[in-house]
Structure 1
Amino acid sequence: MTFRSFPGFIIALIFSTTICAEELQINPSHPNQYTVVKGDTLWDISAKFLNHPWQWPELWKNNAQIGNPNLIYPGDTIYFSIVNGKAQLSLTRNEQLYSSLSKANGPCVLKEDDLKHGRTEFLTSEDGKLLPCIREIPIKEAISLIPSSAIAKYLSSPKVVSENELNNSPYVIGFAGEHLLAGMGDRVYVRAIDSSDSFSYTTYRKGDTYTNPETGEILGYEAKYVADMKLEQAGDPATLLITKASGEIRMGDRIMLSPEEDINLNYFPKPPEQKILGSIISVLGGVSQIGQYNVVVIDKGVQDGIQIGHELDIYKRGKLTRDPYTTQKDAAVKLPDEQAGTLMVFRPFERISYALVMKAHHAIHILDKVQTP
């Protein structure tokens, strides 16, 4: 499994000069300035100024006093302005020291202990004046586009497989030592692995079945991670050693080659180029109510043109109501759909996708619609 990640990767991408060629939609209740606080994300901040947060880079204006505008930290202040008829954002650092670093002869560095307990020794110039100090802030403290903790555990597991993949994969038929269940360090017998070309395998257990809410067609099956295994002897049955387990291995659990997924951690939200109209069909994490930063499953995937970073609006389906003045029997009027929030796809599969709810205006439910903004 390969992770593509770079220091400050999310921040750098959000300031990309590439932007959807769409007229900026300014949030009418935007502040004139905003000071970043710990826990903020770039998405949250951009939503204060824009109706569509993915348009953030178009607002950004490089500040000559900032050496690296791709990193924003708590304490920095963001300003909204109109320049030559165009809306822009600029930023002022909390620490007004960056521009003087080149003038300092060996500038001092304020570390975390200095900030907590105070610093007593400082460098001085030849004429006795204090030289400026810089504050050392780890790059990981820069705010991110989204809270990575919300999606971290869903980047590699569970996975979604087709009916053919599930039914044709090897499966556990017994345990060494006459055990009824197995765990880490135990050996299991699997039917059947005939080739010894690969030695790393993963055990999955069938989870939810994902279906199209309109047609009932099966779109895929959730495959829940159970364990990692190492092939010791190919055959029918094959012998595998359990090297890591999240729970007990049971009879019938499916065995698949360990994934070599190239997990993309670089997110640049953007609307799909084509029209997408789908539905939320499930929610992950065992929650009953869907809100901001919950992970949902939508019934659109790669074959529908869905890509990592695609943003979709969520709409609550309009209810059917009876017209109190109609004389027609069983007559009903459908109320308009209401926008309930926004989501961003972070892990698309062939026919479904995992997406993070970025914004929730109202309660969100399974079967709510998702569509291109």
Structure 2
Amino acid sequence: MAQPPSWQQGLRGDAPERYTVVRGDTLWDISGRFLHHPWQWPEVWQVNPQIRNPHLIYPGDVIYLYDCNGRPCLGLERGQGEVRLSPEVRRIPPREAIEPIPLEAVQHFLRDHRVIDDPEALEELAYVVAGDDRRLISGAGDRLYARGHLERGPRYGIYRIGERYTDAATGELLGLELESVGQARLERQEGDIAVLEALSASQEIRNNDIVLPLEGRELTRDFMPRAPDEAVDGQILAVPGGVRFIGRLQVVALDRGRRDGLAPGHVLQVEQLGERVSDPRTGETLRLPGTEAGLVMVFRPYRKMSYGLVMRATRTLAVGDRVHSPAAGVAHR
């Protein structure tokens, strides 16, 4: 763990001594009430080891500030979780832990997008070859025929091939994005032909669309914002949906992933490259220093790339902007 921040540098001047968590708060919101840099939360977070699930925070809990060997620490007091009414005990229904980030900003995205780490494996995946009555386009309620072996039981997603993500410097293929167009269930398998019923369709289902078991899409709700354990240096690859300019709470694709040490909750700083100018004396082309422009939190890392959510944008971000491990000394904006 990194060195905890000092009272003067890490703590906001208007940080409260105590804060009662309310419904609608996120861990990022609470971090920002106390700290200049929300990713430093784990460095000041101290909890009673007797508290069950200490990393889960609920509405009604109290976060308090105290001195911890000359540095600020944050502690947790559980809110009222049980009311005693003699001679019986009435338990309040289980509370829902606060979210680490505004998950509604990414849940819809995760339902419609996934990445294949090894696009070369695409040829081995099942794919639609026909609709009922030789239709080229199908929808909910229609019968579909796919080539490939599918296991009976789970629901299947129908996907269309989207963007191919490549490393701008090396040309390495980082992943292939698949966009959901519907869901189906397996009726039967005859040889290498699977007969499916389309259960839903957000777009027309077409021949050559990919058939895959639905992946687990639930996000962990107990991760904390934190800096990566290893130095990370990459860039924004794309904005799914084709948006050119990027603002707060937009999803971005990054060219770094699990193999680079990224995990859910890791925060990266976004830096916009400085302009290219011509030296008035020598005529040389110079690159001016970059400008810190925002923060991105990783929520779904794949092996070679990741999806992240823009948590702060002091400028309009763009594809190609650099992302790197945050520096604690960067001023809060």
Please state which band the TM-score falls in when normalised by the shorter chain: 0.7 to 0.9
CA distance in 2, matches of 1:360, 1:316: 11
What TM-score, normalized to structure 2? Answer: 0.79
Alignment length (residue pairs): 315
What is the RMSD of the two structures over their aligned residues, measured on CA atoms? 3.5
CA distance in 1, matches of 2:2, 2:318: 32
Deviation at 1:345, TM superposition (A): 1.4
The equivalent residue for 1:327 is: 281
Distance 1:315-1:240 versus aligned 2 partners, 3 A rule: same
The equivalent residue for 2:40 is: 55
- Structure 2 counterpart of 1:152, one-letter code: Q
Q: Is the 8 A contact 1:46 1:53 kept in 2?
A: yes
Distance 1:260-1:61 versus aligned 2 partners, 3 A rule: closer
Deviation at 1:277, TM superposition (A): 0.9
**Which is richer in strand?**
2
The equivalent residue for 2:238 is: 282
The equivalent residue for 1:42 is: 27
Distance 1:303-1:189 versus aligned 2 partners, 3 A rule: same
The equivalent residue for 1:12 is: none
- Structure 1 counterpart of 2:2, one-letter code: A
Distance 1:361-1:164 versus aligned 2 partners, 3 A rule: same
Distance 1:101-1:225 versus aligned 2 partners, 3 A rule: closer
List runs of 5+ in structure 1 lacking aligned partners. 1-19, 110-133
The equivalent residue for 1:146 is: 101
The equivalent residue for 2:330 is: none
List runs of 5+ in structure 2 lacking aligned partners. 327-333
Deviation at 1:176, TM superposition (A): 1.5
Deviation at 1:73, TM superposition (A): 2.8
CA distance in 2, matches of 1:92, 1:268: 18
What TM-score, normalized to structure 1? Answer: 0.71
CA distance in 2, matches of 1:78, 1:262: 30
Q: Is the 8 A contact 1:27 1:48 kept in 2?
A: no
Alignment of 1:112-123 (within 5 A): none
The equivalent residue for 2:144 is: 188
Q: Is the 8 A contact 2:12 2:33 kept in 1?
A: no
Q: Is the 8 A contact 2:263 2:298 kept in 1?
A: yes
Deviation at 1:217, TM superposition (A): 3.2
**Share of identical aligned residues, percent?**
37
The equivalent residue for 2:129 is: 173
Alignment of 1:101-140 (within 5 A): 105=86, 139-140=95-96
The equivalent residue for 1:358 is: 311
- From 269, 281, 292, the equivalent of 2:248 is 292
- From 169, 176, 180, the equivalent of 1:214 is 169
Query: Which of 1 and 2 has greater Rg?
Result: 1
- Structure 2 counterpart of 1:313, one-letter code: Q
Distance 1:335-1:220 versus aligned 2 partners, 3 A rule: same
